Structure 1
Amino acid sequence: MRILKSLLRFFLILGVIAILAGAIAAFGIYQHFAPNLPDVETLRDIKLQTPLKVLSADGKLISEFGEKKRTPISFDEIPEQFIKALQAAEDSRFFEHPGIDVIGLARAAYQLASTGKIQSGGSTITMQVAKNYFLTRDKTFERKFNEILLALKIERSLTKQEILELYINKIYLGHRSYGIQAAANVYYGKDINELPLEQLAMIAGLPKAPSAFNPITNPTRALERRNWILERMQSLGYISSEQMKEAQAKPVTAKYHTKEIELYAPYIAEMVRSELYGKYGEELYTDGFTVYTTIDSKMQTSANLAVRDGLIAYVKRHGYRGPEKQIDITNLSIPEIVELLKDESSFAQLEPAIVLEVTEDSATAIRKNGETVSINWDGLKWAKAFKTVNYTGPSPKTASDVVTPGDLVRIISTETDTWELTQIPRVQGALVALTPQTGAIRSLVGGFSFTHNKFNRVTQAHRQPGSNFKPFIYAAALENGFTPASIINDAPVVTQDDGMDGGWRPENSSRNFSGPTRLRVGLYKSRNLVSIRLLRSIGISNAVEYLTRFGFDAARLPQNLSLSLGSADVTPLELVTGYASFANGGYKVSPYFIDRIDDQNGNTIYLNQHPTVCETCSETSDNHQMPIAQRIMDKQTNFLLYSILQDVIRRGTATKARVLERNDLAGKTGTTNEQKDAWFTGFNNQIVASAWVGYDQPAPLGRSEYGGTAALPIWIDFMKAALADQPESPIPQPEGIIQLRIDPTTGLRAGSGQSGTIFEYFKATQTPKESTYSHGSPSGSSTEEIF
């Protein structure tokens, strides 16, 4: 008995010594590692790598930039069943332990002692948070001690809810998805709170080994792990046996879902990325910014289709250039033919296809997806052979005149669900639309296809606007004493200009001259000689100074009379911004495309403070939030010019636009020498848009291609949708404008009883003298109406 007591005392002392030694050792380890431990308080302000999202004004996704797919969510947004599934899979005692699980660590120690290798780390969710945010993934004792100590510190600093929120937003879950919300989107195309139990359990099984248990690449092992987790949930009392069995009976339904682009506006997306990269650098792709642009989804969709259809229509007018390739398919199987299409991309819905068979009046082709389609005669008969921009071959008589088996061609689905032969245009186009009161860009198409060619012609192409520039010259004339009834001689001009090579003999596009012409007629009929004489009258230096008010760069404005014919180099964005001043009553606005930027927590970190037109605001008033746009045009001048530009559509070079059946529209066509550029810019008080067509390397479009032929139809198609169901919005007539009857020949006020007169608008301070007409003298026979 005495011996037994002595032994007990010995082992007790030994145990105390062991405990003390362990405590001393633990204290020593802590003293060694603790000074180098990071501050866990930084977890409260952690920034998770989250991609940049670019949205339209109405919240539709335009683009995402960033390698990691992540959408952080808060603890309150985590489904309760997912929390239970995660506990069953990773850490059943998460809400009870202090950050480390002694049983789990003991199990890991036993595995190490028995095998000599670290097999499982016994990690809790808190320890995984420590590892994921602060440590490497190396399996070393040092890292493990740091992990344990950090877990204890984290538990003292953060709540369990905060820890779990950090965990579920950080973990990698396969297919570039980080966090459970991104995983739910990638595997099931839904948000995490929309998933049923079996899918929640599937995602809960991924953190252990995202590749091994991936339901897309390894569905068998993923199913086994999911069902094991469901069993664990049942054994832990989280779900009933019935719930477990029902969930286990469900098949694997995961498939890869990309975040679908809701609005195709790639040129704007790239403008956003480029603009913000200069400020944020690489952080732009990881800091979770959400950019709300000014783009209107309805207008953007309309612009996309208008540019595409307008350029395809140009292709049809000028003929078919033949197949992109000719392939010998004689001995190839259908799968082998489809394989030839795998690297061929679609551009603006123009799909690649290979012709299989040709009959007298149709052709059969195979699409990239393996579907065989028929192209009937209506989809082939347009394809006269292209010769030059001015000539085509004869109309085809049979389908074999157009295509042969083995041709790699482009096809497009029509509105009647049939297929039509088409071709990627070599010509390019652009369209941009603004809200004139603010400068907000509502739609922008920088070319036929961003995928095919990323050059943004709206912002990067400096082209001559031709007659599309004339309204600015006429505006300057109206502010320098001219009226819409002023008479200017439309007659030949020969000038020796120091800024031009040799003698210059400009002509009208019709090569005819009309003699004395009222200013209104000169503009709506686009008479070149009238424009030249106006510019010569007001002076080139005065005109250049006036033009810079609209934002045009003086360095790119020629200092000679060719300026009146649009020989300056401008971008479509600069041109439409200038026209915005015509549309808004005479104010200067600046174009912008970023409305606001939110951080990943939904806080607005940038709000665009753009100058805004406000007719009732004083420029020095403090009773408004936005800066007030500066007036750059006299309001009476603005109205007179608007009235004249309405006539461009009513009776001038843009009468095709009358198909819109609106009385509030105004605009101007433009065509440069040899038809190298075709333009139309038009507006009402609510929207202004400019369309351009041309070759990137300037070349003739064809002798029948003008602003009214190539560009105007694009503008019309855009406006048809953009203005649908919108009330008319004309520029209101301001005070100081009066209406008088005039003699259309002389521009003078009509005499009493004079016939053949017309109405004209004037500034009240610039009314014309009365005609010398007397009763009984010959009267004109004009029946022209101005409005």
Structure 2
Amino acid sequence: MQRPSAIRLPQWLRTKPKHLRRKCLWAGGIALSLAFSSYYLLPFAFPIPEKIASGPGDSVLLLDHNGKELAHWVRPDYYRHRTIDLDLVPEDLIQATLAAEDKRFYQHGGMDFRATARAIRDSIDQKRFVSGASTITQQTVKICSQRASRTIPTKIRECLTARHVEMTHGKGEILSAYFNHLDYGNRSQGPLQAARHYFGKPLSQLSLAECALLAGLPQAPSRLNPRRNPEAAVKRRNWILDRMRIVYKLPEDRIERAKAEPLQLQQRGPTNRAPHLAGLLRRNSKRQDLHTTLSAELQRDLTAIARQQIQVLRDKHIQHAAIVVLHNQTGNVLAHVGTPNFHLSNAGQIDATRIARSPGSALKPFTYLLAFEQAGMTPATIIPDIPTSFADVRGEKSFVNYNRLYRGPVTIHHALASSLNIPAVRALNAAGGPAPMIKQLQQFGVTSLKEDPRHYGLGLTLGSGEITLMELTNAYACLARMGKHIPMRFFSSSQSQPLSIASKPSYWMLANTLSNNAARTAAFGPNSQLRLPFPCAVKTGTSTDFRDNWCLGFTADFTVGVWVGNLDNTPMRGISGVTGAGPIFHATMLRLHNNHPPAWFDQPSGMIRCHIHTSTGKQFPEANEHTIEMLLPADTLPLMSQRGDFDTHGKVILDQRYSAWLTSEGDRARYTLSSDLNPPAFHHHPLRILSPSREAKYLLDPDLPGNGKKLALRTDFPGRAIWSSPTLEISTKNGESTAILTPGVHLIHLRDHSGRQTSRSIEVEEL
């Protein structure tokens, strides 16, 4: 058997003395051992940065109900980033990045010795460091480590740490960590965020040229910023494309097409579609994505609608608007526009939906709902629209309509549709005053009205209290739900079940009146912004001095609330709810029903169709020019009209309450006064003292004419009631009664011809 030949030493070593040969062999072995240890064992002495395994923190997204982006918040370091798996990074971007940074990434073990040798050679030639020869693994270590000075020890530590990473992580893990940590400039970290920022598209839709452009940015994000220095960015892109052609043998024609592709960056615009909501939620965010009930497309469109309307009405001194859209069955907030111009300096950052403002007439529907539910009224009920005064803790107060005209006897149907003030005040008084109305609104989720009911008085129905758009919109949604309150929701929940809504007579009659365009034509015209091509209940409101402008309404599915005005509380110029907030409401409702068939409420059972005379509120057997067709509950049908309701000439006979109105501005061709000073109809109205005020204290001042001793006595029944007092002198002249005051506590009595009476106590002091 042939023995294996012995290892032959080099000639120069065989000629040396034996002990020298032994030393050389030992030195070589030690060198090999050191090299082996340095390459395979020493790296384990250098810990891997934790960030490589954990990855950079994601910035939080605010998402709509379909997962579309509403807002993207920056991290504490002001970067935006979204983690992405390597499988989702386009092959073109991977090849472009490797061609630019580390073409032998898949061949080396963390250190590229050929590149290192080239870097050393170039540095000697240039007498300075011109290339670091860092591999992608080394760059990943550097990015994930604390910043350190650029020295040789630092470079050695990065190389050994990179070896450690290579021995414990796969190439895919390393490349994924590298991509997710890359700074692409403009505070965008990672390719997913970079694609969104620069091109406004997902990674999967990037072209070869766009991938090459992104691959070139991490080398010098500031110097190569395509927004500031597009020439440098394109030059770097084209260099990378040439490298890809060499390294990956890409077709020449594809490279040339990519080079010829123009640089098309996404225009910078609002990155936050719900800025006010985002600002509110961010303070409570737990650094995780938030899925809301909003619709990104609807939010975008309504912001544009509000912005356009403000521009149209700029000469009317309107600076701000707000919109809230609710889904009735779930309470989901579908759109929330605090103000349409968030970045403007004139209070654009204030969320107008949460500021309590005077709602004007927008609370009248709740007044009539109370009258239907608690006072037995219906849309057919007649209410006098005549000059009216009421007394409260602040004294006597007179109310007027918007146009300072009066219509005499009107049905609630027409009074609500035309937004008449005096019938609303009278209806609230008949239904119990402001206290039950506030209680009703609280049941609908309104918390803004915190004062004692006496503070608001009967003017509550006209806007004497302040309420937020958020609360008022949800209160209207409660009307659409036939009285069912659901708290509004900004966050999606799989446990929520749509609410089944069954029509109730009072709510249905209210919605039917608010949706009747013919009923409001006398006040707003036949083709106002309140008219829609489908049934929609709608009500406007304008506060005193034109400081607030509202339009709210609903269909069976959606409720919309709109406010227009100025957050600095300066008045608008001659704008009503129809011309200010109305156009925004109109456009919003049309937008909501673009792809959603409009729905209306089912008619409640037990409703009877009848013809109601618009001046008497009574039924007529058949329709005529003075009647209107109504659907009313069978148990509240008005009486049939009688001969005694009209005189021999067919005029409607009115009681004496209408005498002043009929004399001054009433239609005498249609109405006449009853000769009965105390008709039975009066017994349904309480005998009320308007002056003196309840719990009032009067001071006799010598600086006033007559020392302020004369106190005018007023009632709802002037000329038909008798005043008296056991301690005060009362004189009557031309139907007006006056008490002559003296110091002390006095009781004043009022009695009518039917024997009804009421009293009021006053206190008089002398200065």
Name the TM-score, length of structure 1 as normaliser.
Answer: 0.68
Indicate how the Cα distance of structure 1 residues 779 and 43 shifts in structure 2: closer, same or farther if over 3 A, else same: farther
Partner of 1:552 in structure 2?
446
Partner of 1:613: 499
After TM superposition, give the deviation of residue 472 of structure 1 in Å: 0.7
- What does residue 97 of structure 1 align with? 108
Q: Deviations over 1:685-708 (max 9, x none)?
A: 233223333333445544x53323
Indicate how the Cα distance of structure 1 residues 11 and 218 shifts in structure 2: closer, same or farther if over 3 A, else same.
farther
Contact 1:101 1:124 (C-alpha < 8 Å) held by counterparts: yes
Pick from 429, 446, 449 the counterpart of residue 321 of structure 2: 429
- Quick check: 1:590–1:610 contact (8 Å CA) kept in 2? no
Return the letter of the residue paired with 1:738: I
Note the alpha carbon deviations across 1:67-118, whole angstroms, 9 max, x for none.
4354543222333344334333333332233333455556667889999987
Partner of 1:497: 392
Aligned to 2:544, which of 665, 673, 681?
673
Q: Is the Cα–Cα contact under 8 Å of residues 323 and 353 in structure 2 kept in the other structure?
A: no
Aligned CA distance change for structure 1 residues 65 and 120 (closer, same or farther; 3 Å): same
Picking from 324, 327, 333, the partner of 1:441 is: 333
Q: CA deviation at 1:294?
A: 1.3
Letter in 2 for 1:571: T
Residue 661 and residue 46 in structure 1: after superposition, are their counterparts in 2 closer, same or farther (change >3 A)? closer
Does the C-alpha gap of structure 1 residues 739 and 426 become closer, same or farther in structure 2, counting only changes over 3 Å?
Answer: closer
**1:239 and 2:249 are equivalent in the alignment:** yes
Distance 1:89 1:583 in 2: 62
How has the CA–CA distance of structure 1 residues 123 and 732 changed in structure 2, closer, same or farther, with 3 Å as cutoff?
Answer: same
CA offset digits 1:511-531 (Å, max 9, x no partner) = 344444433233223332322
- What amino acid is aligned across from residue 8 of structure 1 in structure 2? R
Q: CA deviation at 1:544?
A: 1.6
Other-structure match for 1:566: 463
Deviation per CA, 1:622-660: give whole Å up to 9, x if none: xxxxxxxxxxxx822110111221236643534455674
Using the aligned pairs only, state the percent identity: 29
- Does 2:276 align with 1:270? yes
* Equivalent pair of 1:459/1:572 in contact (CA under 8 Å): yes
Partner of residue 563, structure 2: 692
Letter in 1 for 2:412: L
Q: Which residue of 1 aligns with 2:22?
A: 9
Q: Conserved in 2, the CA contact under 8 Å of 1:432 and 1:690?
A: yes
Q: 1:144 to 1:199 in 2, by over 3 A?
A: same
Q: Does the aligned pair in 2 maintain the 1:675–1:706 contact within 8 Å?
A: yes
> Which structure has the larger Rg?
2
Q: Mark the CA change 1:225 to 1:62 in structure 2 (over 3 Å): closer, same or farther.
A: closer
1:469, CA displacement in angstroms?
0.8
Cα deviation, 1:741-777, whole Å, max 9, x if unaligned, reads 4454443444699996543333343334455559999
The structure-2 alpha-carbon separation of the partners of 1:4 and 1:247, relative to structure 1 and needing over 3 Å to count, comes to: farther
Moved more, 573-582 or 740-749: 740-749
Cα separation, 2, equivalents of 1:59 and 1:609: 18
Can you list the C-alpha shifts for 1:552-584, whole angstroms capped at 9, x where unaligned? 114157432221222110122222221112223
For 2:249, give the aligned amino acid: I
> Where do residues 503-652 of structure 1 align in structure 2 (5 Å cutoff)?
503-539=396-432, 540-553=434-447, 554-555=449-450, 558-559=453-454, 560-595=457-492, 607=493, 612-615=498-501, 635-647=504-516, 650-652=519-521
> Contact 2:414–2:519 (CA<8 Å) still a contact in 1?
no
Per-residue deviation, 1:239? 0.6
The one-letter amino acid of 1:767's match is L
What CA distance in whole angstroms lies between the structure 1 residues aligned with 2:370 and 2:379? 12
Amino acid at match of 1:636: P
1:591 partner letter:
M
Aligned partner letter, 2:324: V
CA contact (8 A) 1:459 1:571 kept: yes
* Mapped partners of 1:278, 1:457: distance in 2: 17
Check conservation: 2:557, 2:599, Cα contact below 8 A. yes
Question: What CA distance in whole angstroms lies between the structure 1 residues aligned with 2:225 and 2:268?
Answer: 22
1:447–1:456: 8 Å Cα contact kept in structure 2?
A: yes
- AA aligned to 2:73 is F
Shift in Å, 1:482: 2.3
CA contact (8 A) 1:464 1:566 kept: yes
Partner Cα separation in structure 1 for residue 512 and residue 372 of structure 2:
12
CA RMSD of aligned residues (A): 4.3
Query: What letter is aligned with 2:425?
Result: I
| Cα-to-partner distance string for 1:358-410 (whole Å, 9 max, x where unaligned) | xxxxxxxxxxxxxxxxxxxxxxxxxxxxxxxxxxxxxxxxxxxxxxxxxxxxx
SS at 1:535 equivalent: helix
Tell me how far 1:490 sits from its aligned partner.
3.4
Q: Matches of 1:268 and 1:667 in 2, distance apart?
A: 26
- Matching residue of 1:367: none
**Is 1:84 the counterpart of 2:90 in the alignment?**
no
C-alpha displacement of 1:493: 3.5
Residue type of the alignment partner of 2:396: G
Contact kept, 8 Å, 1:668 with 1:682, in 2: the verdict is: yes
The answer to whether the Cα contact below 8 Å between 2:72 and 2:80 also exists between their aligned partners in 1 is: no
Do the aligned residues in 2 keep the contact of 1:299 with 1:718 (CA within 8 Å)? no
Alpha-carbon distance, 1:219 to partner: 6.8
Partner of 1:479, secondary structure, is helix
How far residue 167 of structure 1 moved from its aligned partner, in angstroms, is 1.0
Q: Is the 8 A contact 1:544 1:557 kept in 2?
A: no
Instruction: Report the alpha carbon displacement of residue 484 of structure 1 after superposing the two structures with TM.
Output: 2.2
The answer for the alignment partner of 2:580 in structure 1 is: 710
> Structure 1 residues 441, 227: CA separation in 2 closer, same or farther (over 3 Å shift)?
closer
Partner of 1:487: 382
Amino acid at match of 1:247: I
Unaligned runs of 5+ in 2: 1-13, 653-669, 671-767
770 and 196 in structure 1: CA distance in 2 versus 1, 3 angstrom threshold: closer
* AA in 1 matched with 2:485: K
Distance in 1, matches of 2:156 and 2:525, equals 81
Separation (CA, whole Å) in 2 of partners of 1:10 and 1:312? 92
> Are the aligned partners of 1:558 and 1:567 in contact in 2 as well (CA < 8 Å)?
no
In structure 2, the partner of 1:353 is none
1:204 Cα deviation after fit: 3.5
Q: Is the CA contact (8 Å cut-off) linking 1:485 and 1:520 kept in structure 2?
A: yes
**CA distance, structure 1, for counterparts of residue 124 and residue 90 of structure 2:** 39
> 1:38 Cα deviation (Å)?
4.8
Pair 1:551–1:190, CA change in 2 (3 A):
closer
Report if aligned partners of 1:49, 1:70 keep a CA contact under 8 Å in 2.
yes
Q: Is the 8 A contact 2:325 2:560 kept in 1?
A: yes
1:242-283 deviations in Å (ceiling 9; x for gaps): x3586369647674724665xx79672231232133233xx5
TM-superposed deviation, 1:171: 1.3
Q: Give the Cα–Cα distance (whole angstroms) in 1 for the partners of residues 196 and 647 of structure 2.
A: 84
Tell me, in whole angstroms, the C-alpha distance in 2 between the residues paired with 1:48 and 1:476.
Answer: 55
Residues 136-182 of structure 1: CA distance to partner in whole angstroms, max 9, x if unpaired? Answer: 34324554454344334433443211221111222123343433344
SS at match of 1:729: coil
Residues 764 and 153 of structure 1: CA distance in aligned 2, closer, same or farther (over 3 Å) = farther
The one-letter code matched in structure 2 to 1:297 is E
Aligned to 1:166, the other structure's residue is in SS state helix
Opposite residue 469 of structure 2, the aligned amino acid is P
SS of corresponding position for 1:707: coil
8 Å CA contact 1:518–1:747 kept in 2: the answer is yes
